[in-house]
Amino acid sequence: MEPGHEATTGITQSRLVFVIADLAGYTALTEAHGGDEAATIVGRYRRLAEDALADGARIVEQVGDQLLIVSADARAAILTADRLRDAVGDEPHFLSVRVGIADGPIVQRDGRYFGSALNLTARLAARAACDEILCTAEVARACGGVDGLTFRDLGEQRFRNVPEPVRVTTVVSERAAQHAPALDPVCWMHLDPITAPARLPFRDKTYYFCSLECARTFAKNPENYDA
């Protein structure tokens, strides 16, 4: 099912920039800490996203931890994604965000979006690493320069159900690059290594944990989490 939103009826055509942002490790967090903790994280995530919206950008759908944001302007989309990445990174004991951005012609029918641009945006978000923003080269060019951001060309890449290769750009933030948290291998929460409640050595590496519970889970089967 493609993302959509409830707003209008009938059919309209337009060109928009799509941002899909989700939380890396959301399933692992739910398994480790339960639905209540996951719901709390998602609620906070939604508020952070609302505060991160640049002028002209708006959230049009949320499915679990995945947000669909649209804008008519590439710069607003990039700024929104970067602000959200910074806000999520500043949250203690939180998950990391992954973002995909693409633009293109789109059809709205009965308040839902349809089009290849939306499919590509989802593929970019799925390929992004923790705290990474991936966008098409077209979006990067349309955005222009942004203070504190570097657009790094990753070359042409192929995506499932996208017939032609797509030139992909990663949006690198000077601020985010300076912020390098540790990740709990069990629940995927990012942590400050200095204040992490627990740590364990395994295979010449030190792992950090958000709780003693996650440390105990890791200790039972460390091979399941070592990467």
What pLDDT score does 106 carry?
84
Instruction: Extract the residue ranges of the chain whose pLDDT is less than 70.
Output: 1-13, 176-180, 226-227
Total residues found in the chain within this entry: 227
d(CA 123, CA 4): 16
Helix-, strand-, coil-residue percentages of the chain, each rounded to 5: 35, 35, 30
Give φ, ψ of 111 to 5 degrees: 80, 10
What pLDDT score does 4 carry?
44
**DSSP label at residue 226:** -
Per the CB < 8 A criterion, the answer to whether 70 and 60 are in contact is yes
Full-model pTM: 0.87
What pLDDT score does 179 carry?
67
Q: Which residues of 125-155 are buried (b: 16+ CB within 10 A; e: fewer)?
A: beebebbbbbbbbbbbebbeeeeebebeeee
| Residue found under tokens 């990740």 | 183
In the chain, DSSP finds a helix count (H) and a strand count (E) of 6, 12
All domains in the chain, ordered by first residue: 11-178 (3.30.70.1230), 182-224 (no CATH)
d(CA 172, CA 136): 14
